Amino acid sequence: MKILTNYIDGELLPTDNHLDVFNPAEGTVYAKAPRSGEHEVNCAVEAATRAFVKWSRLSASERGEYLLRIAQKIEEHSEALAMAETTDNGKPLWLSKAVDIPRAAANFRFFATAIQHFASESHSSETVTNYTLRRPIGVVGCISPWNLPLYLFTWKIAPALAAGNCVVAKPSEITPVTAFMLSEICCEVGLPKGVLNIVHGYGGEVGACMTAHPKIPVISFTGGTKTGAQIAQTAAPLFKKISLELGGKNPNVIFGDCNFERMINETVRSSFANQGQICLCGSRIFVEESIYDKFLEHFIAKTRQLKIGDPLKPETKQGAVVSHEHMQKVLSYFDIAKEEGGKIVCGGKAFQGEGRCEGGWFIEPTIITDLGPHCRTNQQEIFGPVVTVTPFTSDEEALTWANCTPYGLSATVWTENLTRAHRFARDLQAGIVWINCWLVRDLRTPFGGVKQSGVGREGGWEALRFFTQTKNVSIYQGE
Ligand code: NAD
């Protein structure tokens, strides 16, 4: 049994109080993580506060050196990290190897370099020169979810550290193992003590303490919309700076004039990648009526080919969903959809694993038709391998339906008509729009949602602006 520890003030600290960590492909407990509370959060904040003075005064390139060393160690340990991510989360091993772990290293590399180019501005007149400093803020709280564990954890930590802050970070209690391995890496590279502190535990305990802590003026959060609202409520009277990356119910709008072959392959990916557990998955598919039947036939056929089961097998395209509770939640939507008049045309039930995966939590990739855009199935985030398909007859109808949920994270449009593509890009209520592609990410570009999908942006300069505070200095040089 793997026993994890907190990482506070440069030390890996064992605890007596633990919570269970499950392997979702087997349905078994395989690790124990610390169940921390207020005491551990306080220790982490004190350590980060002490470390801040020195860390924030290092030059950007000196801090960058540490980040680059962490990136290199992530790459050196990539096999073990990928295996841990898959064991913890249930996602196919090839996906952890190809995406999750390389991206965690890339996060550190990217911000180690970006910070060198994050310049101050200056504005001069005859008598006064102004320059604007961007200063680190202090102790930053980072809270992340379970769907892309190390990928999203490091997406927050790397820019916060690069900008000169010290960090208290909490990974999801459901997938804490790679965060623990990151703390081992930080020890290995000799990151100065207190600069990064990783405190494990439940959201309502550790996360809530962090959000309410008077010495953490900044909270960067990725997770569910409900949790985001709780964080905003706690943070408001304390005047904290917050960034909230929340849920989505993203539309995928497909026109008859698209490149069908490319669209169908990418739509299978955008529907079911990571078992549909990516906030950016296109869970509501709207298809122009003229190609609706052809679309459905090809989409169902390709979805049926997705191999479900043991995440360690290279041919597996659908691994396990993250927990038993989450599986029950996703499955409950099949009944809701049926009650709402929906027709399940593919999947629609749990999948029975074999061998070591007999007790695992698997769901067949599921396609539902015949639902209106305003029903629960089409309005609430399911966050599993489930999509709905709805025909539309005009651009206006497609746009209205695409925009008709409380969410606004991402949207995809498939069309060869340039004017229409730009019009949709302009009018879709989403923070990210993909035209003729899906989940193409450039780390320099802003990432985040509108409406109930979030507040603020991550990525590139946006992240570095968030993790710094601006100060204007005016120098009088007249007579
Ligand atoms: P969650 O909100 O349950 O948990 C996220 C994190 O918040 C966890 O670390 C959890 O322990 C912590 N937490 C829970 N309650 C808390 C509280 N009261 N105070 C402080 N912290 C608390 O979300 P989840 O189930 O882990 O993740 C799935 C959700 O994340 C989905 O809604 C998904 O769309 C969203 N998500 C969004 C993005 C994005 O970039 N917009 C990316 C990935 C996932």
Question: Tell me, what's the ipTM?
Answer: 0.98
Q: What is the pLDDT of residue 154?
A: 98
Report the atom number in ligand 1 closest to the C-alpha of 449: 41
Report the atom number in ligand 1 closest to the C-alpha of 170: 9
For residue range 165-189, what is the model confidence (pLDDT) as tens digits? Answer: 999 999 999 999 999 999 999 999 9
Q: What is the pLDDT of residue 275?
A: 98
pTM across the whole model? 0.97
pLDDT confidence of 123, banded at 50, 70, 90? confident
User: 136 CB less than 6 Å from ligand 1?
Assistant: no
For residue range 390-406, what is the model confidence (pLDDT) as tens digits? Answer: 999 999 999 999 999 99
Report the atom number in ligand 1 closest to the C-alpha of 453: 41
User: 52 CB less than 6 Å from ligand 1?
Assistant: no
> At CA 64, angle to CA 186 and CA 167, rounded to 5?
50
| DSSP per residue, 368-390 | EES--TTSHHHHS---SSEEEEE
Q: How far is the CA of 47 from the centre of ligand 1 (A)?
A: 25
Q: How far is the CA of 425 from the centre of ligand 1 (A)?
A: 28
Which residue owns the Cα nearest ligand 1 atom 8? 172
Contact 307, 317 (CB under 8 A): yes
Which residue owns the Cα nearest ligand 1 atom 34? 247
Which residue owns the Cα nearest ligand 1 atom 36? 223
Ligand 1 pocket test, pick from 211, 213, 227 with the greatest ligand atom count within 8 Å of Cβ, gives: 227
Q: What is d(CA 120, CA 131) in angstroms, rounded to the nearest whole number?
A: 7
User: 74 CB less than 6 Å from ligand 1?
Assistant: no
Closest CA to 386 of 334, 342, 433: 334
Which residue owns the Cα nearest ligand 1 atom 39? 245
Mean predicted confidence (pLDDT) in 244-254: 98
**Which residues, in sequence order, are bridge partners of residue 13?**
6
> At CA 378, angle to CA 375 and CA 382, rounded to 5?
125
Indicate the SS3 state at residue 9. Answer: coil
Q: What is the pLDDT of residue 122?
A: 84
Question: How many of the other CB atoms lie within 10 Å of CB of 352?
Answer: 12
Q: What is d(CA 392, CA 379) in angstroms, rounded to the nearest whole number?
A: 17
Q: How far is the CA of 227 from the centre of ligand 1 (A)?
A: 6
Q: How far is the CA of 455 from the centre of ligand 1 (A)?
A: 14
Report the atom number in ligand 1 closest to the C-alpha of 208: 19
**Residue carrying structure tokens 């703390």:** 183
DSSP state of 291: G
For residue range 16-60, what is the model confidence (pLDDT) as tens digits? Answer: 999 999 999 999 999 999 999 999 999 999 999 999 999 999 999
Contact 348, 366 (CB under 8 A): yes
- The answer to whether residue 121 scores a pLDDT higher than 90 is no
Residues 6+ apart with CB under 8 A from 372: 340, 341, 378, 390
Ligand 1 pocket test, pick from 99, 107, 147, 180 with the greatest ligand atom count within 8 Å of Cβ, gives: 147
Strands 218-222 and 139-143: parallel
Ligand 1 pocket test, pick from 91, 172, 211, 274 with the greatest ligand atom count within 8 Å of Cβ, gives: 172
CA atoms within 13 A of residue 289's CA, in its CB half-sphere:
5
User: 207 CB less than 6 Å from ligand 1?
Assistant: yes
DSSP state of 337: H
Q: What is the pLDDT of residue 479?
A: 82
The domains located in the chain, with CATH, are: 2-246+453-474 (3.40.605.10), 251-435 (3.40.309.10)
Report the atom number in ligand 1 closest to the C-alpha of 146: 26
Q: What is d(CA 225, CA 206) in angstroms, rounded to the nearest whole number?
A: 18
Residues 6+ apart with CB under 8 A from 68: 108, 109, 112
Q: How far is the CA of 20 from the centre of ligand 1 (A)?
A: 18
Residue 325 bears catalytic tag: no
